Structure 1
Amino acid sequence: MGKAKRRSLLAKIFPRSSLRRSTGLLIITCFLSSAFFSVLVFTNADYVIGVFDYLTSFIPISRSDSKLIAVTTRQPIIQKKRTLSTYDENRIYNDFNYLNPSTLTYENRTYSNNVQVLFRLPEKTPIFALLLIFHGCSRTANDWFNTIERQRIIGAAIDLGYGCLAFQATDDFSRCWSNEVDMSSNNDVEMVWTGLKGFYNEYPKLESLPRFTFGSSSGGIFSSIFAINPRYKIQGQIIFVSIVLPEIVQTRVKKEGYPPTAWIYMPRDIEFASEARINDSKRVFAEENIPHISYIIEPLCVTSTIFHERIPTITKETSLYIFYRLQQNHWLDPQNYLKYNPRRKNTWQEFLLIPVNKTLISTDISKNLNEHKTILPDFFNTLYGEHEISFERSFEALQWHKNIYDNKTKSVL
């Protein structure tokens, strides 16, 4: 990066007044760095840098100087860094550009009994099946087409030939799905039946296509129930950060033909969709010879660009600012993973969204942060890796189901 470009980037992040006040500290930092240079030449650089970072962490830093320290000190050495799956990295969607959300158009229908169905059918890939999508608690069907992580799940499905139908839970207060196993008493089952009937009346040729489900959190439990509905056969399901209802595992999975199931889960999710619970279910599936698989989404390493890469409307300057603020406030471990659960410790919102001194942050960054204050909490949960939406591994799970169905169809012919 050239000197002029570097100065420009720093100027955008840190106002001139802040840099001027910090000149003295910058000189001291440079002196300390040069003093260590000769040692670094003859010793293990990574070890010495770690010691240097540890020692300098005790140097008192005023609020006005803290940002400059973050820019001039070296980033911690990352000993392990998880990258995206090869299926997810640099994925380009044929039907829409996720960098431009307006390109993901969809249809909105209201059928009998005021049942709403939002859907998008593939345009460039031949349609192979229908994917019935059930959101999590407090969410809506609309989120699947208007939040970036969910949009990318839709994009992966469309690329594989799935027509995507998103449904809305009947509970308007909690927006959670019913976990009533008795389908005659389950209002959500009746609602989905009504929605599908209306959809098939409009698109009768699509009724013969196989059906799969994708349920997130509460929607995952509902999916595990709907998977055995007698009216519209389900060929397979994806359970995202959720579980197959234990009652279903003990009764329907063991006694009746249950569809192939893929779990996508986060290892830190130990209270609800825990790895132990999922493994218990997988053992039963194995005993019953039901195809099953699981995919792990681990915590993400925080980099200076990750906020821009995953949420393109966050600028590169804002992404860099967030990264350094997390460093300064000791929210990152030596490998640059979040140290704290952002749901249980929300001080990150204080030092990011409520700056103590407005002169320390540029107007553009402040505005950009404010525009994303309702989006950042979810993404922080994704970074930490506990019970949150993430587009990762969805393509693999959807591809797995498609392969199983294709192989099953070929074996019958």
Structure 2
Amino acid sequence: MNRKGNNKLSKPWDHDRGVQVPLLIAICILVLVSFLILLNKDENPSSSPVFNNTLKSPSVIMNPTLETTNGTDFIWQIPDSPKAVLFIAHGCNGEATNFWDKSPTCETCIGLPEERLIVLNALSRNFAVLVISSAGRCWSFGEERVTVKETIQNWVTNQKLEKLPLVGLGASSGGYFISVLAIDMKFSSIVIMIAEGKFSQLDMIKEDYPPSLFIHMPKDEYRKEYIRLNIRMLRGKGVDVEEIECLEFPIEPDYFARRIRGIDMNTSIKLLDLFRDKGFVDGNGYMRKDGRALDLKGALEEGKIELKDKKLIRHVQEEMNLAFGYHEMTSLQSEKMFQWFESHF
């Protein structure tokens, strides 16, 4: 635009139609572009994940009961007016103590961020929660399958919860386990997280197999393809099946403070700056590698960042894994997950 045109546009409104029309067109284009940007942001969960994890009952308090049977820990908590029972099977190297914060009733609990948020979401929706530790590093499918079934049934009976719907959630190794346990037990529905399930014995899958929701990270393309195959197989058997994809997303300065109890805003900012300097995170905030492949302890020592509790390094790694979006338990889809459970009571 020439200098004369600029002078005219500097006035509030010029009655020269030759200037008004281009200005109106420019404004319309600007509004349209802004709308499209916002629309695209809303439709792309990888650029704007939901972090609020709003609880139905914000005042819910963790007050678990820890029991040990034959050397195996199982932890449970029942809200005042339970409407369903949720059994959770953790992944490899996991244990029941990951799901509740440390407290007088569970001194060994460590409350990993995603696990504890799933439990808090369950309790806030009046789900009784039971988590059993696997006998080994990962779940097995022989005697342990029978033992867990009996433990769940005995606990439900002892707590007088047998009239309530029973739902199951399994992540990774626990996802395989819950998919098999669902053949033995009557679940009203299950969630198989970051796993394709174990459906090798197709003749054992009947129409009464519970409705199954797969929550997975499609960045793991190998597992994604098997999940799609199993979804088609289950639907072919008449089973109600859905899937939710969880994508990678950028880490923002307040990310660790929002997700991890015990990390303040200042530390969260320092962690992100350090991880950028180390090349763990790119200029846009995206993880370059899975958190398990990084020397986080060495990086923290080199960056002279001290966490309030050394155990928090596991919490940081879990949230880095989550942002990488390849293979990690996630609470980000809690709302949809519990809607799935509730829709099948």
TM-score interval, normalised by the smaller of the two chains: 0.7 to 0.9
Give matches, 1:8-407, under 5 Å. 82-85=47-50, 89-94=52-57, 96=59, 103-110=61-68, 116-123=73-80, 126-145=81-100, 146-171=111-136, 174=137, 176-178=138-140, 180=141, 186-204=142-160, 206-229=161-184, 232-248=185-201, 250-253=202-205, 255-271=206-222, 274-344=223-293, 346-347=294-295, 349-350=297-298, 352-355=299-302, 361=304, 365-368=305-308, 370=310, 372-405=312-345
Match for 2:145: what amino acid? V
Q: Is the 8 A contact 1:136 1:215 kept in 2?
A: yes
State the shift of 1:109 in Å: 3.1
d(CA) in 2 for partners of 1:144, 1:277? 28
What's the CA shift string for 1:81-111, capped at 9, x where partnerless? 62234xx5251352656xxxxx311122345
Relative to 1, partners in 2 of residues 1:114 and 1:318: Cα closer, same or farther, differing over 3 Å? closer
Match for 2:258: what amino acid? E
The match for 2:25 is none
Structure 1, unaligned runs of 5 or more: 1-77, 98-102, 181-185, 406-413
Relative to 1, partners in 2 of residues 1:110 and 1:329: Cα closer, same or farther, differing over 3 Å? closer
What's the CA shift string for 1:267-307, capped at 9, x where partnerless? 22345xx2111111111122223111111221121111101
State the shift of 1:198 in Å: 3.1
Match for 2:219: what amino acid? R
TM-score, scaled relative to structure 1:
0.65
d(CA) in 1 for partners of 2:134, 2:189? 21
The match for 1:20 is none
State the shift of 1:228 in Å: 1.2
State the shift of 1:367 in Å: 4.4
d(CA) in 1 for partners of 2:341, 2:157? 27
Secondary structure class of the residue paired with 1:222: helix
Relative to 1, partners in 2 of residues 1:387 and 1:320: Cα closer, same or farther, differing over 3 Å? same
Q: Is the 8 A contact 2:196 2:224 kept in 1?
A: no
State the shift of 1:347 in Å: 4.9
d(CA) in 1 for partners of 2:314, 2:282? 25
Match for 1:104: what amino acid? M
Q: Is the 8 A contact 2:172 2:194 kept in 1?
A: yes
State the shift of 1:262 in Å: 0.6
State the shift of 1:370 in Å: 4.4
The match for 2:106 is none
Relative to 1, partners in 2 of residues 1:374 and 1:252: Cα closer, same or farther, differing over 3 Å? same
d(CA) in 2 for partners of 1:381, 1:90? 18
d(CA) in 1 for partners of 2:67, 2:193? 26
Aligned residues: 292
Q: Is the 8 A contact 2:218 2:326 kept in 1?
A: yes
Structure 2, unaligned runs of 5 or more: 1-40, 101-110
d(CA) in 1 for partners of 2:157, 2:240? 32
TM-score, scaled relative to structure 2:
0.76
d(CA) in 2 for partners of 1:304, 1:116? 37
Structure with greater helix share of residues:
1
Relative to 1, partners in 2 of residues 1:245 and 1:353: Cα closer, same or farther, differing over 3 Å? same
What's the CA shift string for 1:44-76, capped at 9, x where partnerless? xxxxxxxxxxxxxxxxxxxxxxxxxxxxxxxxx
Q: Is the 8 A contact 1:210 1:234 kept in 2?
A: yes
Relative to 1, partners in 2 of residues 1:216 and 1:349: Cα closer, same or farther, differing over 3 Å? same
Q: Is the 8 A contact 1:318 1:369 kept in 2?
A: no
What's the CA shift string for 1:229-263, capped at 9, x where partnerless? 1xx41111111111221314x2223x452110011
d(CA) in 2 for partners of 1:96, 1:260? 31
Q: Is the 8 A contact 2:57 2:125 kept in 1?
A: no
Relative to 1, partners in 2 of residues 1:194 and 1:116: Cα closer, same or farther, differing over 3 Å? farther
State the shift of 1:327 in Å: 2.5
